[in-house]
Chains A and B, each alone.
Chain A
């Protein structure tokens, strides 16, 4: 095998796409060729670097908002307009203003009352801590002792439930701090993981799947027989799932598909 012939096989080897026969002949060549061994190492480094650069690129929040409000994609949001026209169309011209005012009052008043009484979903409210922490505006006592974090958080809720103690060392992430947040009288335990792999927040609280935001995408994991709810807020991706009476939310700036895969791998069926 010549070095030129080896080049494409090196690419395939880096991607774990080489056939058995190709792999064995390439490995024989590599034993003898320092230049190709060097090329193999260089290509591996490059692949990792490109992958890493990609992970830092995320869809801007304005794009996310534009898609969510695009009636061609989420037609549910455009329906009220169509119905409004449907209702008004058969009414004679002169009667239209009066009917419009009456309808506006009929629609606006209950909507106003609903908006006033409806609070932000707890899952969204909890994510505020992520942004505050990254901006250094969240006072937390850092520690590298994960057991200490778990003990402190468990004590804070009188031992009624425990924070999810995930081992994320494989992702180069370690627990660095824990805190307790109270939203609408409900205590939320927050474990913060940081490292070369980025930042992940793990929220734990007592609740049900109804705590997922209404616009979350639901995924059913057939092997675990569990639902996972994916949603985003303020540039942070989050995945919620339930284990018994406990809700766990993993939040991070990492790509949603990777966060979802992480949540699925860590979740334990009730």
Chain B
């Protein structure tokens, strides 16, 4: 009996450690969904708790990253509708998306690095401004490297919806980032 319990504990421990590999990815998604950094942390921690409680439902050999992301998104969705504590397009404050400014400014490096930080800041701002229905596909496909099929599974919607929302989401991002980003042609035109 004690042996069985020990084996189950070891299995759960191994599962949790494997899940930890996806911590940065989960935080990245949570960071762009939650309103505050501490809420993003809470969201990710709770995702791990839920995942561990349901680890027997995970099929070994399948995509753990997608499985965890689905848990995180469902958790976010539940909480957003319950508490309205998360970001929506109408509910954005400038100071919430200052992660990049808060990063230590050690080794500022060449100008291109500084510009990259500015661009990254603006991308974070932009993502927090677009409606959640468009933001989630952009986060999953562009930041999470998920296929349309995987994103559709995570968001529980048809692939066609992913495609159209992604297209719309990127359009909104382009509009927001127009002063900061563009093709070589456009940048040279602006000069």
CB interface residues, A 127-154, toward B, < 8 Å: 134-136
Residues on A close to B: CB < 8 A?
7-8, 10-12, 15, 17, 38, 41-43, 45-47, 49-54, 56-60, 62-64, 66-68, 70, 72-76, 79, 134-136, 215-219, 230, 232, 237, 255-257, 260
Bound-complex Cα distance A256 to B68 (A): 15
Contact call B148/A135, Cβ cutoff below 8 A: no
Contact call A59/B65, Cβ cutoff below 8 A: no
Contact call A15/B143, Cβ cutoff below 8 A: no
The answer to whether residues A257 and B21 also contact, given A46-B173, A53-B123 and a CB cut-off of 8 A, is yes
What is the number of contacts between chain A and chain B, taking CB atoms within 8 Å? 154
Smallest CB-CB separation from A51: which chain B residue?
B142
Smallest CB-CB separation from A237: which chain B residue?
B24
Bound-complex Cα distance A46 to B139 (A): 13
What residues of B have a CB within 8 angstroms of the CB of A217 in the complex?
Answer: 14, 17-18, 20-21
What residues of B have a CB within 8 angstroms of the CB of A11 in the complex?
Answer: 163, 166-167, 170
What residues of B have a CB within 8 angstroms of the CB of A58 in the complex?
Answer: 24, 27-28
CB interface residues, B 110-137, toward A, < 8 Å: 116-117, 119-120, 123-124, 127
Number of B residues, CB within 8 Å of A:
61
What residues of A have a CB within 8 angstroms of the CB of B147 in the complex?
Answer: 17
Contact call A63/B52, Cβ cutoff below 8 A: no
Contact of A49 among B53, B106, B123 (CB under 8 A): B123
Residues on B close to A: CB < 8 A?
9, 12-14, 16-18, 20-28, 31, 37, 41, 44-45, 48-49, 52-53, 65, 99-100, 103, 106-107, 116-117, 119-120, 123-124, 127, 138-139, 141-145, 147-148, 163-164, 166-167, 170-171, 173-174, 177, 181-183, 185-186
Tell me how far the C-beta of A252 lies from the nearest C-beta in chain B, rounded to whole angstroms: 12
Among A45, A49, A58, A134, residue most surrounded by chain B Cβ atoms (within 10 Å):
A49
Contact call B12/A7, Cβ cutoff below 8 A: no
The answer to whether residues A8 and B31 also contact, given A72-B49, A217-B18, A256-B24 and a CB cut-off of 8 A, is no
Main secondary structure of the interface of B (DSSP, over half): helix
Tell me how far the C-beta of A256 lies from the nearest C-beta in chain B, rounded to whole angstroms: 5
4 additional A-B residue pairs with CB within 8 Å, beyond A8-B164, A63-B41, A67-B44: A12-B163, A74-B16, A219-B21, A257-B65
Smallest CB-CB separation from A42: which chain B residue?
B183
Contact call B48/A70, Cβ cutoff below 8 A: yes
Bound-complex Cα distance A233 to B41 (A): 18
Bound-complex Cα distance A216 to B145 (A): 25
Contact of A46 among B17, B18, B20, B174 (CB under 8 A): B174
Contact call B41/A60, Cβ cutoff below 8 A: yes
Contact call A72/B52, Cβ cutoff below 8 A: yes
Bound-complex Cα distance A72 to B9 (A): 12
Tell me how far the C-beta of B38 lies from the nearest C-beta in chain A, rounded to whole angstroms: 10
